[in-house]
Structures are given as structure tokens and as C-alpha cells.
Amino acid sequence: METRGSRFSKYQEARIQEVAEEVPEGATPRTIAVQFRGEVCRTAKPGDEVILAGIFLPEPYTGFRAMRAGLLTSTYLEVQAVTQVKTSYAAHVLTPDGARALNAISAGGD
């Protein structure tokens, strides 16, 4: 490894599982491997419901796995964008219209 020509980059691998409500009764949820690179790293945490957009790529088997594998490649998704389905309370921003509505409700009393 050449230390002068090397640089660190953000990288994260995860396995994404389909939502439980969409799985047929009695079936197991399907999963897919995904890779996050750069600024999209750490945008999804375990348990988050997310919508991913990216590139579906093949990954050829190498070495001993290639001899034992029935298929030639496995597939993964290289993530380009992450959209949170359920946002946290900390991520919400109070707009001026929302502030006026809250003030009107609080001024109304019980």
C-alpha cells in the first residue's frame, strides 16, 4: 500500500430487508446487500424505514467461492440517494405557519 497516494473514503455495507407488511403470510422477508459510499454513509440506521435509489450491480464470485457457487455472480445495490420514510422529531423544522397554528391552539385553552 502506498501511503502517500492513498486516501480514506467513507464506506458502509448493509443488508436491507423488505417491510414486514409487504411480506406474504408465512413467507420470510427478502434481503439485498447494499453499499453506501461517500456522503450517503450513515444516513440509514438499523430499524429505519428508507427508500433507496441507486445502481443495481453484479459482483462476480472469486477464489474458492467461484468454484462452489452455482451462479456466476451475486448482486448488490450501490446507493446514490437515501430518503427516510419516518423522520425523527429532531429532524422536524417548525415553519412560520406551524408556529402560528400552535400559538392559536395554545391561546384557545381547554
For 19-55, what is each residue's pLDDT tens digit? Answer: 888 899 999 999 999 999 999 999 998 988 999 999 9
Q: What is the pLDDT of residues 69-89, one digit of tens each?
A: 666 788 999 999 999 888 777
Question: In order of start, what are the domains of the chain with their CATH numbers?
Answer: 11-108 (2.40.50.140)
If one counts every other C-beta atom within 10 angstroms of the C-beta of residue 80, the result is 13
The pTM is what? Answer: 0.68
How buried is 21 (Cβ within 10 angstroms: 0-12 exposed, 13-18 middle, 19+ buried)? exposed
